Structure 1
Amino acid sequence: MKRRSLLTVASAATVMTLGGVGYAAHRRGTNPYYRGPVSDHFDGVRFHGPEQGADKDLSDVLRWQVSRKGEAWPRQFPSPYPADRPPERVAGLRIVLIGHASYLVQVAGRNILIDPVLSKRASPVGFAGPRRVNPPGIALSDLPPIDAVLVTHNHYDHLDGPSLARIWQAHQPLVIAPLGNDAILRGYDDTMHVETRDWGGSVDLGDGLAVHLTPANHWSARGLNDRRMALWCAFVLTSPWGVHYHVGDTGLGDGRLFREVRERFGPPRLATLPIGAYEPRWFMQAQHMNPEDAVTALGLLEAEQALGHHWGTFRLTDEGVERPAEALGAALDGAGHPREKFLALRPGQVWPG
């Protein structure tokens, strides 16, 4: 009974990490994070995306959990790259994958963290839920001075409150997030400097560097009753180096999100796209691209280069630990792209390398 209880807690923590709680219940009520005018994607309580499907309900989650036949992961999946020790500043562009969807972006003399998750688990609890199978690609103590932190959404594998509080206390960066996430972030340190924006909003970081928030086919949830009460986004960074488009999580949908980025900003020089957490497709397709979808997105964007993340660190879904990278190679071959055009990064790997 004790083992079953622990497995139940671990399973629940995994589902919560993915935002798979909240369901269709608690439709009415108040939003604890954000109060603002109704818009084409906010009904006064909840946000919704341009292609928002029906919320999964408890029966969907139970169906997945009861019938899971996923491929087991190893307890350790070490990166072939040593932990990075970044330079203090970079004039051009230097990117390193910290792990999962966490990056350090050094561009135009600024240091920007995206979705920094440095904890041992991506979970609301420290004793259960997805456990990292490789250490962060940069140790917290080896980070250069951090000027800004970008948070795409509030799922636990993207918004790691304890890590963000430590980064804030050490570096005092500007934190940029979609609407409603400031209330969550300040719950970890009420002195944190957070600026929120809606889709279409921008933050000017000076010297030709700006951050723009764009839509994604995803959702948010931090607990049992707050589904879609904080906004989620993708980011576009514009700088003297060029356009860098970053997606934390999204479904491909009909592709309009990627076409709109290309039309507004031009073809990106770089796109950092998720390639993992996609099985089973009946459950994940609306919110997580698989590698074939990501290659389609690359084509829609007409991006010069892509880097793949959201794989190989936390086991969230049913595919094996190496399957996303293998499937990415096959998808690139099928689309006629050279494999070096879209690299599946490992923690500590630097681009350009």
Structure 2
Amino acid sequence: MVSVRPSRRALVTGLAALVTGVLPNRASAGTNAYYQGPVSDHFDGTRFFNPGSQDEDRGLVDVLRWQLGSRATAWPGALPATVPDLPPARLEKGRCRVSFIGHASFLVQVDGLNILLDPVWSERASPLAFAGPARHTAPGIAFDSLPPIDAVLVSHSHYDHMDLRTLGRLWRRDRPRIIVPLGNDAIIRGADPTIVVESGDWNDRVRLNPRVVVHFRRTHHWSARGLTDRRHALWASFVIEAPGGGIYFVGDTAFGDGNTFREVGRAHPRLRLALLPIGGYAPRWFMKDQHMNPAEAVEAFRLCGAQQAVGHHWGTFRLTDEGYDEPPRDLAAALAQAGMPDQSFAALLPGSVVQLGAS
């Protein structure tokens, strides 16, 4: 393993920590920047939380321990070239096509609809235009090659999942339905008050057409855009129920006790595809409460009962210590250990397409 020099590492890791919401919160007690609503089993009146969890909130001391004490594997200077996808304008009803754009961004074309998941086309996943995690691979679909977008699902507020610049471009171009967990609507409207955003809580559902329904599902994560709004907006996964079966999208999650995946498997027994994160897991002591590693992702795949899975959240933005190709290598090892075939759970490159066929 190759160390990153502490001076450079302090900047890179500090900004990555901000992106992933691990810096300490300084909000005053009893205030929420984005959401006001009733107390629930995952909202205490001020902040959202993971029910039944003993998560350890990481603070500045932990960030310094990470950046000064761990050893990061260097990424190669040049990554494998990929061929961008050129998706069709529409698919006929009953067909499904999923294109991997990069990191956690996907285009799902199903039942005549075009749905974007966590779309990020910016060059940095950062609050700063000149610093922070930079894109190492081009998007798997050029923005101008996107078909007309009907709906956008955003899982949570971290910069590598909620890209306000991209959302603004999509809104100005297509006026899609933008669907987010509670509180994230206020973040988007704060950037552009003209954008119409629909928000929902865990277990809510939104109908996109007579045959396609989006379900908000519980996931184990957190949220922040800065130093004063930690857990002020909810995080969620989504299940897109459509003819032929469901597509389960997890933008970010820890494995936790595994119950989030069991719940989805029970509620949606006909999942044909799970989009699961496999990167952002090192060092494990720091990341275990927010990101799965590949072995945990394999177990999540088993628990949710999907027919096949695709691994994402790797190889585009460097946020943590593992090397560029460690997530797919660790995924292959975990599949072998579990006795599952390699083709059942693929780590795709941007521009890759999964065709799910007719219902």
TM-score where L is the length of structure 1: 0.95
**Shift, 1:267, TM fit:** 4.4
Partner of 2:259: 256
CA distance in 1, matches of 2:6, 2:279: 28
Partner of 1:85: 86
Which runs of structure 2 are paired with 1:190-205 in the superposition (5 Å)? 190-205=193-208
For residue 284 of structure 2, the aligned residue among 281, 285, 301 is 281
8 A contact 2:275–2:311 mirrored in 1: yes
8 A contact 2:13–2:319 mirrored in 1: no
Partner of 1:105: 108
AA aligned opposite 2:197: V
SS at match of 2:114: strand
Partner of 1:231: 234
AA aligned opposite 1:272: L
For residue 329 of structure 2, the aligned residue among 322, 326, 329 is 326
CA distance in 2, matches of 1:75, 1:157: 21
SS at match of 2:191: coil
8 A contact 2:32–2:232 mirrored in 1: yes
**Shift, 1:76, TM fit:** 3.2
Partner of 1:49: 50
8 A contact 1:153–1:159 mirrored in 2: yes
8 A contact 1:22–1:223 mirrored in 2: no
For residue 94 of structure 1, the aligned residue among 94, 97, 119 is 97
8 A contact 1:75–1:133 mirrored in 2: no
SS at match of 2:279: coil
CA distance in 1, matches of 2:6, 2:240: 46
8 A contact 2:255–2:292 mirrored in 1: yes
- Counterparts in 2 of 1:79 and 1:213: CA distance versus 1, 3 Å: farther
For residue 62 of structure 1, the aligned residue among 64, 68, 72 is 64
- Counterparts in 2 of 1:321 and 1:59: CA distance versus 1, 3 Å: same
Confirm or deny that 1:181 pairs with 2:184: yes
8 A contact 1:107–1:241 mirrored in 2: no
Confirm or deny that 1:306 pairs with 2:305: no
8 A contact 1:22–1:226 mirrored in 2: no
**Shift, 1:190, TM fit:** 1.2
For residue 13 of structure 1, the aligned residue among 3, 12, 15 is 15
Which runs of structure 2 are paired with 1:134-149 in the superposition (5 Å)? 134-149=137-152
Partner of 2:298: 295
Cα RMSD of the aligned pairs, angstroms, is 1.6
- Counterparts in 2 of 1:101 and 1:177: CA distance versus 1, 3 Å: same
CA distance in 1, matches of 2:38, 2:54: 20
CA distance in 1, matches of 2:126, 2:54: 25
AA aligned opposite 1:29: G
AA aligned opposite 2:19: T
8 A contact 2:6–2:68 mirrored in 1: no
SS at match of 1:269: strand
Partner of 1:73: 75
**Shift, 1:191, TM fit:** 1.2
8 A contact 2:10–2:67 mirrored in 1: no
State the number of aligned residues.
349
8 A contact 2:49–2:231 mirrored in 1: yes
- Counterparts in 2 of 1:351 and 1:13: CA distance versus 1, 3 Å: same
Where in structure 2 are there 5+ consecutive unaligned residues?
none
SS at match of 2:144: helix
TM-score where L is the length of structure 2: 0.94
SS at match of 2:100: strand
AA aligned opposite 2:139: P
For residue 116 of structure 1, the aligned residue among 109, 115, 119 is 119
AA aligned opposite 1:277: G
Q: Which of 144-153 and 7-16 deviates more?
A: 7-16
AA aligned opposite 1:218: H
Partner of 1:158: 161
Partner of 2:271: 268
What CA deviation, in whole Å up to 9, does each residue of 1:118-177 have, x standing for no partner? 011111101111111111011111100000000000000000111110111111000000
CA distance in 2, matches of 1:69, 1:139: 34
Partner of 1:168: 171
**Shift, 1:27, TM fit:** 5.9
